[in-house]
Structure 1
Amino acid sequence: MKRILVTGSNGLLGQKITEKVLAEGRVNLIATSIGINRYPFKKGYEYAEMDILNPEQVKAVIEKHRPDAVIHTAAMTNVDTSEANKALCHRLNVDAVATLLSICEGKNIQLIHLSTDFVFDGKNGPYKEDDAVNPVNYYGKSKVMAEELIKNSKANYAILRTILVYGISYDMSRSNIVLWAKGALEKALPINVVNDQWRMPTLAEDLAEACLLAVEHDARGIYHISGKDYMTIAGLVRKVADYWKLDQSFINEISSASLNQTAKRPVKTGFVLDKAIKDLGYNPHSFEEGLLILEQQMKG
């Protein structure tokens, strides 16, 4: 079995990869993150503290554990924070990738790198892998810079771009659109939701599966990984309300322009998934199936 090292294992995607490995075997896992392991089950894999901003520590951990592949999930993903703190965003999303690349190149380690639909300007989605990138905010720019570093390296790499990931993790440091909408509507709180941005929301379990498939297939190049359903953000929130039978009168649909967000968002992203389906056997759940999975997890 291949040995894989995951960065950012305390995050939503990192935890879902751990969960899959524990349930299915398939690979030997070394989970790494900054600080202590927040995943409640500690057996069946190894854990190492690793700060991706500390090149010496990254090198030492990878040299000690000698993985066949690194799945790099750690990043700054908050779009407005990235815009407000470009220097830290660059360190986390670009410099850390350069560190990993230099190690993976020299040791023939496959690098699976997570990227985003925000590399596109949103003028003509859904996008294919070879469509031209043109980010409209600094988060997207940082991810394009990382992609360029990887593409120009000698590393064996796969870049997995994804969209609006949702799911439930342990000790969550941040929420996501589905849980936020459900939580607010259950408390009968009015929420403003944009109705002019289109996305294909991605179940975290599906993205974790794609990461493992990329390792197993020794994937090379760029792959688009998301859910299969195309909807507006407002449409997404209404589907959440429908599913849990919550009052939709608290949903206030607004335009992006009226939101006053720090960073601009692309209007219509979305992905053409044909390449991932054909090359990797990727088979995502529908949005409703994703909500059912979340409901079952909430019931425990």
Structure 2
Amino acid sequence: MEKTKVVIVGGTGYLGQHLLQAFAGKNGGDQYVAFTHHSSPLPHLLLDAFPHFPAFPVDLKSGLGFASISQDFGQPDVVVNCAALSVPRVCEQDPDSAMSINVPCSLVNWLSSFERNKTLLIHLSTDQVYQGLKSFYKEEDETVAVNVYGKSKVAAELLIKEKYQNFAILRSSIIIGPQTVSPLPKNLPIQWMDSVLQKGDAVEFFHDEYRCPIYIKDLVSITLKLIDRWVVSEDKQMRLVLNAGGPDRLSRVQMAQVVAEVRGHDPSLIKHVSTSSVDRGVVSPADISMDITKLIQTLKISPTSFKDGVRLTLESESHSHIL
């Protein structure tokens, strides 16, 4: 059986690096893996960690760089698109960039240039495609985004559904988990909560904004299962939209309470505030918790509880400090 060629678009990001780690851990496995990056030069830690995976500079806005993947790596069997401008406030300030990066026109055009449309596109979307007016959104619910980030991701989903034949769209919630091989500059949610509570100062958290945070290893295994499923399928047709959230609907207060409990921090440091009391420079949907029944039934997975995800995240952090 031929090896599957996988290209990870946005390999330097949080999910991208965790996917590379998973493929590297399979010791060659059944895949040839390449990744794209926009930041240059690539961090040494990343190059040292994944010396066997070719890296291609690609500009998603213009599509520059895709042609060299075709030439040097060949037509991919699977492309996982994790590249995005994903900080809602930044998207709000620069809507043009948000639209041109998050709506993957150049990527879809590149994939459409291949014969037989035989490449599977696994595209990372977001829970922010939902309006946030109820609990436990289902995949078939209307997508009415309330900010530029969400709107760009809705537009991306529409583009893929209209222009491409083979796809799986994963609407991911907040992703929790350990730091990446090449550490990211942005705060990771659990690590940040842990560090502020550790200082012993009172911290404000929203009590009226709900999400279903997903543990990174679950998101990785969902992606790998989709690839495996695609490889063994006869007709190579997939048109799938899945809510990729964890099993718990939680407010920020509840998330912080779990971190405090796992780490033995003083829970009275957690101050409850309403989202209406803070101007974040972007409208944020109130409740975009998701029903993940379809995910569980389709891929036969049992997602990690938030508490276990927190425990695993913080355990791996303490190990990496000891090493």
- TM-score scaled by structure 1? 0.94
1:195 and 2:207 correspond: yes
Quick one: which of 112, 116, 124 aligns to 2:126? 116
Partner of 2:12: 10
3-state SS of paired residue (2:8): strand
1:27 and 2:34 correspond: no
Partner of 1:284: 303
Decide whether the 8 Å contact of 2:173 with 2:211 is kept in 1: yes
Partner of 1:59: 67
Which 4+ runs in 1 deviate beyond 3 A?
none
Partner of 1:177: 189
- The Cα shift of 1:44 comes to 4.0
Decide whether the 8 Å contact of 1:227 with 1:285 is kept in 2: yes
Partner of 1:46: 54
1:231-287 alpha-carbon deviations (Å, 9 max, x no partner) = 111100111111111122322110000011111111111221122222222332111
Between 224-233 and 72-81, the greater mean CA deviation after superposition: 224-233
| Separation (CA, whole Å) in 1 of partners of 2:199 and 2:241 | 41
- The Cα shift of 1:128 comes to 1.1
Quick one: which of 200, 210, 235 aligns to 2:254? 235
Instruction: Give the superposed CA RMSD.
Output: 1.6
Aligned pairs for 1:203-282 (under 5 A) are 203-218=215-230, 219-282=238-301
Q: Give the residue type in structure 1 aligned to 2:283.
A: K
Decide whether the 8 Å contact of 2:56 with 2:65 is kept in 1: no
| Separation (CA, whole Å) in 2 of partners of 1:4 and 1:47 | 12
- TM-score scaled by structure 2? 0.88
Q: Give the residue type in structure 2 aligned to 1:69.
A: V
Structure 1 unaligned segments of length 5 or more: list them: none
Aligned pairs for 1:96-175 (under 5 A) are 97-107=104-114, 108=117, 109-167=119-177, 168-169=179-180, 170-175=182-187
Decide whether the 8 Å contact of 1:73 with 1:113 is kept in 2: yes
Quick one: which of 73, 76, 80 aligns to 1:71? 80
Decide whether the 8 Å contact of 2:20 with 2:50 is kept in 1: no
| Separation (CA, whole Å) in 1 of partners of 2:102 and 2:288 | 21
Decide whether the 8 Å contact of 1:200 with 1:229 is kept in 2: yes
3-state SS of paired residue (2:85): coil
Q: Judging changes above 3 Å, is the alpha-carbon distance between structure 1 residues 275 and 18 closer, same or farther for their aligned structure 2 residues?
A: same
| Separation (CA, whole Å) in 1 of partners of 2:229 and 2:154 | 24
Between 269-278 and 51-60, the greater mean CA deviation after superposition: 51-60
Decide whether the 8 Å contact of 1:129 with 1:223 is kept in 2: yes
1:34-63 alpha-carbon deviations (Å, 9 max, x no partner) = 224432412343322323234131232244
Decide whether the 8 Å contact of 1:228 with 1:286 is kept in 2: yes
Q: % of aligned pairs identical?
A: 26
Decide whether the 8 Å contact of 2:176 with 2:313 is kept in 1: no
Decide whether the 8 Å contact of 2:60 with 2:100 is kept in 1: no
Decide whether the 8 Å contact of 2:213 with 2:246 is kept in 1: yes
